[in-house]
Amino acid sequence: MIIDWEAFLHVFVAALLGAAIVVTFYALGLRLLVRGGRPPLVAPAEFTDAITVLTDKQKRRAEKAVAKAAARNPLSVGQKRLALAAAYACFVVCAAAVLAALLLILFH
């Protein structure tokens, strides 16, 4: 059995670059989403057997902190819209990269 190391290296580099592109654009999209005034507030999951369960007071405090940070945003309305548009564009690039990878896997 002979291993084609050059082909293996090509696949390795392509996978590494693809992962870096998806992670970079996703992180940039999240950053621009926050700068645009829409921070993603995700309620923490509560489990009855969890070590730490957030109280309603802690949840309200976190929501208040997010609202306060959004109010301190120094960007104008136009800049916020541009940041949101760029954030969504970054998410589209991520989705396109994932779909392209799936199509490459399925039809190659």
- Model confidence over 7-53: pLDDT tens digits? 999 989 989 999 999 999 999 999 999 888 777 766 666 665 656 66
For residue 2, CA distances in Å to 6, 8, 9, 94 come to 12, 12, 15, 36
Q: Say how many domains are in the chain.
A: 1
Distance of CA 65 to the CA centre of its chain: 21
- Evaluate if residue 81 carries a pLDDT over 70: yes
User: Which H or E element spans position 89?
Assistant: helix 77-107
The answer as to whether 73 is a domain residue is yes
Torsion sign (Cα): 32, 38, 79, 96? positive
Asked whether 84 and 30 are in contact (CB, 8 A), the reply is: no
The answer as to whether 7 is a domain residue is no
The answer as to whether 28 is a domain residue is yes
Mean pLDDT over all residues of the chain?
85
Domain span at residue 27?
Answer: 18-37+52-107
* Mean pLDDT, rounded, for 56-64: 85
Q: Full-prediction pTM beyond 0.85?
A: no
